Structure 1
Amino acid sequence: MQFDDYQALRFDRRGRVLTITMNRPDTLNAVDATLHRELSRVFIDAALDPDSDVIVLTGAGRAFCAGGDVGWMQDAIDHPESFETTVSEAKAIIFTLLDCEKPIIARINGPAVGLGATLGLFCDVIFADEATYIADPHVSIGMVAGDGGAVIWPQLIGFARAKEYLLTGDRIPARRAAEIGLINHAVPAAELSAAVDAFADRLAGGSTKAIRWTKVTTNIALKQLAHSMMDTGLAYEALTNISDDHRQRVDAFLKRTATGSKAR
């Protein structure tokens, strides 16, 4: 299978392991319209890829994924009708990620924020650089965490902890995230690649059908939950997309960014 038509994702192979890299390092892999569209179909293509049995998802450069690109957010504010496409793609990202029978390992090499956190946490096994952090600060920009964050966080750390972090947008250091079960492993940066490779090789060398179908069986309840919640969460997110609060927060962020650029 060829992946030549992707622009914002990079693909590398190592044996039967396919690594998908979000490849916008200059923006800390912030998700713009192109990356969002490609994420909505990449797990279908990866699932059909005959040359791999295990998938690794990671980010290029210093971050895993910094969440939504603020310029893209401003465009959605200016053209709210475009959010219908965003909603459709957002559901496809989560459902195709869950539907992919191949095990997906998250290699969180730097901050995983907003949608970046959602992507990482919906993977099957999660490794992170112990010096980084995970956060879902949708509320900090006046939006509902409708992209799947409200689905997955409570399943991993319980409702009380999940609501504390989702309602504040506070960061969780990777070590703490591992302690409370949000992720599987927090390891030193110098050991991250080796740890991910070793686990990927273990799965690739295992009983492929048994591993795939164990994932499928385990994901049934999570898929049912996602299907029951995503429409509501995304509908509320669409409402906050046109709210004054969101508009003001995005405008303030863009002004701070512009001022910082001029200062440099």
Structure 2
Amino acid sequence: MSESPDRYSRYSRLKFDRPHPRVLRITLNSPLKMGAMDAQMHREVSEVWADVDADDSVNAVIVTGDGKSFSAGGDLNHERKVCDDYALRMQAMTESRNLVYGMLNCRKPIVGAARGWAVGAGLALLILADVSIASKTAMFSDGHLKIGVAAGDHAAIVWPLLCGMAKAKYYLMTAENFSGEEAERMNLISLALDDDKVEGRAIEVAARLAESAPAGLRWTKQALNHWIRQAAPIFDASLALEFIGFAGPEGKEGIDAFLQKRRPSFDPDSPV
């Protein structure tokens, strides 16, 4: 059963359908390899939650990937432009903030369903979901340190609460890849399943939530998310530091090295 109400017609990088009458499924529909987010998709995933929240026909939401990957994060060719363009940098920072707070403040419960790669903003979409389901073989990374910027984005606001400070520091500071199975083991996600079970379980969970008492469910989400909102000052600081990094020499060198497929050369005597 598919549906695309007028409120969703303006989105070109997101597809919408109804696997259940009260469940809206949002499918990331990127034109880039591995579901990476171009500038248009990044804007859309930061704005869609307000439309979902205002849609009285929706009681629960699924966000999932199109094909073999969820989303490999931001388009580094665009992010390199962000390094040099103040207006683009402020726009990207605002969108990143709106994505996080939009998911936290959306009254409808959100179920994330990931297969393949989920990196950066893609990983944010998954673990900021109220229920996060991934393939055991899915691959995750918070890649900020790989490109020479602070782990802002969503990481500081939610990782320590989900998986504890020791794991948060290890994976955020090393930018090491890890599997869906490891993500479940360290409580970063709700469930890790065989690859062919992910979408079905996401629909099952979302349908169960959609058929639950709407007010009770939404108030439960609102109350629980105050645990995350307590870290809002930490998040705002980390986001600002991330985008300061984009404008500095390490961010530019990190992105250039990644795009040129070489090892970055960072100054060990940085004045910071």
Q: TM-score, normalised by structure 1?
A: 0.93
Counterpart among 84, 91, 109 of residue 103 in structure 1: 109
CA shift at 1:10, angstroms? 1.0
**Corresponding residue for residue 10 of structure 2:** 5
Counterpart among 14, 22, 42 of residue 28 in structure 2: 22
2:237 maps to amino acid = T
Q: Secondary structure at the match of 1:199?
A: helix
1:228 maps to amino acid = P
Q: Distance in 1 between matches of 2:260 and 2:170?
A: 29
**Corresponding residue for residue 79 of structure 2:** 73
Counterpart among 233, 236, 255 of residue 228 in structure 1: 233
Kept after mapping to 2: 8 A contact 1:118/1:152: no
Counterpart among 185, 208, 218 of residue 212 in structure 1: 218
RMSD: 1.5
Q: Secondary structure at the match of 2:71?
A: coil
User: Which stretch of structure 1 is more off in the superposition, 246-255 or 113-122?
Assistant: 246-255
Structure 2's unaligned 5+ residue stretches are 263-272
State the identity %. Answer: 34
**Corresponding residue for residue 162 of structure 2:** 156
Q: Distance in 1 between matches of 2:99 and 2:108?
A: 15
**Corresponding residue for residue 145 of structure 1:** 151
Q: How does 1:241-252 map to 2 (within 5 A)?
A: 241-252=246-257
Q: Distance in 1 between matches of 2:218 and 2:144?
A: 33
Structure 1's unaligned 5+ residue stretches are 258-264
1:20 maps to amino acid = I
4+ aligned runs moved over 6 Å, structure 1: none
Kept after mapping to 2: 8 A contact 1:19/1:56: yes
Q: Secondary structure at the match of 2:61?
A: strand
CA shift at 1:253, angstroms? 2.2
CA shift at 1:255, angstroms? 2.4
CA shift at 1:245, angstroms? 2.0
Q: Distance in 2 between matches of 1:179 and 1:13?
A: 31
Q: Secondary structure at the match of 1:7?
A: coil
**Corresponding residue for residue 51 of structure 2:** 45
**Corresponding residue for residue 40 of structure 2:** 34
CA shift at 1:25, angstroms? 5.2
Write the deviation string for residues 125-179 of structure 1: whole angstroms up to 9, x where unpaired. 1100111122101000001111111211111110011000000001121111111
Confirm whether residue 239 of structure 1 aligns to residue 244 of structure 2: yes
CA shift at 1:212, angstroms? 1.1
**Corresponding residue for residue 261 of structure 1:** none
Q: Secondary structure at the match of 1:28?
A: helix
Q: Distance in 2 between matches of 1:13 and 1:122?
A: 21
Q: TM-score, normalised by structure 2?
A: 0.90
2:118 maps to amino acid = A
Q: Distance in 2 between matches of 1:11 and 1:119?
A: 16
Q: Distance in 2 between matches of 1:163 and 1:96?
A: 25
Kept after mapping to 2: 8 A contact 1:142/1:240: yes
Confirm whether residue 255 of structure 1 aligns to residue 260 of structure 2: yes
The size of the alignment, in residue pairs, is 256
